[in-house]
Amino acid sequence: MTAAHKLTVHDAFLAVPDTQVGQIVDGELYVQPRPRVAHAMVTSGLGGELFGPFRRGRGGPGGWILLDEPELHLGGDILVPDLAGWRRERMPEVPDAAYTTLAPDWVCEVLSPSTAKLDRGKKLSAYAREGVPFVWLIDPDAQTLEVLVLQAFEATQRYVVESVHAEQAIVHARPFEVFALELGVLWER
């Protein structure tokens, strides 16, 4: 890829309106509409469930920074997961910037028909390249949570499915396994 092409893709990224989400993955610009309300309900519900025990330490260990839709500049990619979390020892202070270059310790992607291919493909590869240990994939339509864990295989790292949970399950999933997540809360409308 030439420097001129990178500049063009980056310029196009900067021109994405606020009503859409832009990402650069593997040198390509991806633009999607803002998530639908049902998608946002799942994301907000999960963030709300995790905030008390893992950010504030109420009913859990604390020690996490949790952010909705953070902009991540990782390698040549610009990624926007639905939720991401950093252990406080790795991110003692939240950067006063529009984005961070520090890979998260956990990301969550809420799948939709328009984003599932990108989330499961190129974005997952980018997260593996950057060493993100845990990825959760939530499918609101199927009412499932897949927990993926990064593992080393010969000269590469890739994700393996550690567990899949559905519908009304009570979940103890890494890296938040000390907390009982009532999955049904995510599907409430």
148 CB-near residues (< 8 Å, 6+ apart)? 124, 134, 135, 136, 137, 159, 160, 161, 162
Instruction: Provide the number of structural domains found in the chain.
Output: 1
79 lies in some domain: yes
179 lies in some domain: yes
104 lies in some domain: yes
Q: What is the rounded radius of gyration, in angstroms, for the C-alpha atoms of the chain?
A: 16
18 lies in some domain: no
The DSSP call for residue 103 is: P
Alpha-carbon distance of 93 to 142, in angstroms, equals 37
More reliable by pLDDT, 2 or 24: 24
For the segment 91-147, what is each residue's pLDDT rounded down to a tens digit? Answer: 999 999 999 999 999 999 999 998 999 999 999 999 999 999 999 999 999 999 999
Q: Determine if the pTM surpasses 0.85.
A: yes
10 lies in some domain: no
Q: What is the mean pLDDT of residues 161-181?
A: 96
For residue 36, give the amino acid letter: R
CATH of the domain at 115: 3.90.1570.10
State residue 6's pLDDT score. 54
Place of tokens 């493909």: 121
The DSSP call for residue 57 is: -
Q: Which domain holds residue 119?
A: 34-187
The β-bridge relationship of strands 156-166 and 170-171 is unpaired
* Confidence band for 85, pLDDT divided at 50, 70 and 90: very high
Question: C-alpha angle with apex 20: 27 to 9, nearest 5 degrees?
Answer: 25
State residue 22's pLDDT score. 75
**Contact between 94 and 123 (Cβ < 8 Å):** no
Q: Which two tokens stand for residue 154?
A: 């010969």
With CA atoms as reference, report the closest residue to 24 among 85, 69, 86, 71.
71
For the segment 11-60, what is each residue's pLDDT rounded down to a tens digit? Answer: 888 888 777 787 778 888 888 877 777 888 999 999 999 999 999 888 88
19 lies in some domain: no
Alpha-carbon distance of 143 to 138, in angstroms, equals 7
22 lies in some domain: no
15 lies in some domain: no
